[in-house]
Structure 1
Amino acid sequence: MYRFLLTPRWWGINVFVLLAIPICIFLGSWQLSRFEGRVQDHRTATEQVEAGSKEAARPLAELLPVDKATSGRRATATGRYGEQLLVPDRDLDGKRGFYVLTLLRTGSGKALPVVRGWLPGSADAAKAPAAPTGEVTVTGALQASETPGDNGVNAQGGLPRGQTAAISAASLVNLVPYRLYDAWITLDKGDSGMTAVPAAAPDNTGLDLKAFQNLGYTGEWFVFAGFVVFMWFRLLRRELEFLRDAELGLTPDEAGESRSVADPSGV
C-alpha cells in the first residue's frame, strides 16, 4: 500500500519535507535566540544605567568612545558653555516638551553636547534659561550619539534655526562652529530649574519593534514547519484514498460521486 512513497514523485516530496522542516526549525530557533538576546541586552542595559547613576563620575576621556559598556556611566568634563540649541518633541513622564542642549567647549578643542534639562510645551528659545558663564564642570550620564528615527528620535528635517531633531555629531556639525565629540551627556540635576533628563539605554538594547519582529518571525517559521507536516499528511491521505478507490475499480469521478452519496457534506 505504501510502495508509492518510493516513486520519483514522492521521493521529491519527501526530500523537500525532510529539508524544509529542520530549516524552518533552525531559522525559528535563530530568531528566538535573537529575541532572547535583546531581552538580555535590555536587562543588562537597564541594570547598567541604574548602577552608573550611583558610581563615582570619571573624566570624559576615560569613557570614550561610547559603547554598551560605557553608555550610562557618569562622566565629568570642564569647559565653557557656547552655542545653545533646542531639541523639540521630547516626552518626559508622559508630557511633551523639549530639551535644552548647550555645547560645552572643553580644553581639548572639541565641544561636548550637554542636555541641561527638559521644559514642557513647544520649543521656544525664550523659555530656555541661559547657560552659566565662565568655566564650569558638568557631571552627568554619558550617552551615545542618537540615530534619527530610532528609539523615538525625530527624523524630520527643516526645523527652525536653533533647533535639532537628534543629538549627534552628524546632526550638529552643520549647526555649530565647533569640532564635536561623538557623544553627549545629560546632567544629573536639571540646570536653572529645568527637569533632569534620565539616561537612556544604548541603541539595540531595548524591547523595541525590532525585538518583537524577531519574536513574530519565530512564530512564522514554526508555523511554516507545522504547515509542511500538515500538507505532507494531507497528500499522503489523498494518495491512499486514490489507491483504495483504484482497488475497488472506481474511477476518480465515480469515487467522488460515491463519497458525495455517503457524505453529502463532502467532508
Structure 2
Amino acid sequence: MYRFLLTPRWWGINVFVLLAIPFCVFMGSWQLSRFEARVDEHRSAEADAAADRGAPARPLADLLPVDKQTSGKQVTATGRYGEQLLVPDRELDGRSGFYVLTLLRTDSGKALPVVRGWLPGIADPAKAPAPPKGEVRVTGALQASETPGDNGVSARGGLPSGQTAAISAASLVNLVPYDLYDAWVTLDRADAGMTAVPAASPSGSGLDLKAFQNLGYTGEWFVFAGFVVFMWFRLLRREVEYQRDARLGIVPEQESAPVPAPARAPGA
C-alpha cells in the first residue's frame, strides 16, 4: 500500500519535509534564545540601575559617551541654568504630563539637558518652576539621547515654541543657542513641587516591542513546523485513500493521486 512512497514525487516531498522541520525548529529555538537573552539583559539592567542609585556620582566627562555600561550611572555636573523647554506627552505612574527640561551651561562651553522634574497635565510654561539662579551642582542619572518613535518618545512635529518632543542634541540644536552634549540627566531629586523622573533602561536592554517580536517569531516557526507535519500526513492519508479506492475499482488506478491545481489569486 505504501509503495508510492518510493516514487520520485514522494521522494521530493519527503526530502522537503525532512529539511523543513529541523530548519523551522532551529529558527524557532534561535528566536526563543534571543527573547531569553533580552529578558536576561532586562534583569541585569534593573539590577545595575538599583546598584547605580547607591553608587557615588562621578563627573560627567568620565562617563561620556553614553553606552549600555554608562547609561543610568550617577553623574554630577556644575554650571548655570539657561534656556528652559517643556517635553509634552510624557507619562509617569499612569498619568499624562510633561517634563521640565532646562539647559545647564557648564564650564566646558557646552550645555547639558537636565530634566528637573515632571508635572501632570498639558504642557504649560506657567506651571513650570523657574530654574535656580547662579551656579548650581546637579546630580542625577545619565541618559542617552532619545530617538523619536522609540520607547514611547513622541515623533510628532509642529509643537509650540518652547517645546520639544525628544530629548536629544539633534532635536534641540535648532531650539537653543548652545553647543550640546549628546546626553541628558534626570535629577534624583526633582526641584520645587515636581516629581523626579526615573531613569530609563539602556536602549535594547528592556522588554520592548522587539523582544516580544522575537517571542512571536518563536511561535510562528514552531507553528510552521507543525503545519509541515500536518500537511505531510494529510497528503499521505489522501494518497492511501486513493490507492485503496483504485484497488476497489472506485476510481481508475493511476500512479498517484492527482494534485489539485493551485488556487488563483483574486484578479489573476
Same fold (TM over 0.5): yes
| Separation in 2, partners of 1:252, 1:177 | 87
Pairwise CA distance, 1:3 = 2.3
The residue number in structure 2 matching 1:18 is 18
Map 1:190-205 → 2, pairs under 5 A = 190-205=190-205
Q: Which runs of 4+ in 1 moved over 4 A?
A: none
CA deviations on 1:232-267 (whole Å, 9 max, x unpaired) are: 1111111122222222333169xxxxxxxxxxxxxx
| Separation in 1, partners of 2:193, 2:252 | 85
CA RMSD of aligned residues (A): 1.4
The residue number in structure 1 matching 2:176 is 176
| Separation in 2, partners of 1:165, 1:151 | 13
The residue number in structure 1 matching 2:213 is 213
The residue number in structure 1 matching 2:152 is 152
| Separation in 2, partners of 1:186, 1:37 | 28
The residue number in structure 1 matching 2:226 is 226
- Greater shift, 198-207 or 140-149, is seen at 198-207
The residue number in structure 2 matching 1:121 is 121
TM-score by length of 1: 0.91
User: How many residues are treated as equivalent by the alignment?
Assistant: 253
Pairwise CA distance, 1:187 = 0.5
TM-score by length of 2: 0.91
| Separation in 1, partners of 2:157, 2:45 | 30
The residue number in structure 2 matching 1:262 is none
| Separation in 2, partners of 1:252, 1:93 | 73
The residue number in structure 1 matching 2:136 is 136
* 1:242 and 2:242 correspond: yes
The amino acid of 1:137's aligned partner reads R
The residue number in structure 2 matching 1:79 is 79
| Separation in 2, partners of 1:168, 1:141 | 15
The amino acid of 2:219's aligned partner reads G
The alignment-based identity, stated in percent, is 80
CA deviations on 1:70-129 (whole Å, 9 max, x unpaired) are: 111100011111111000111112221111101111111211100011111111111111
Q: Where do 5+ consecutive residues of structure 2 fail to align?
A: 254-268
The residue number in structure 2 matching 1:97 is 97
Q: Where do 5+ consecutive residues of structure 1 fail to align?
A: 254-267
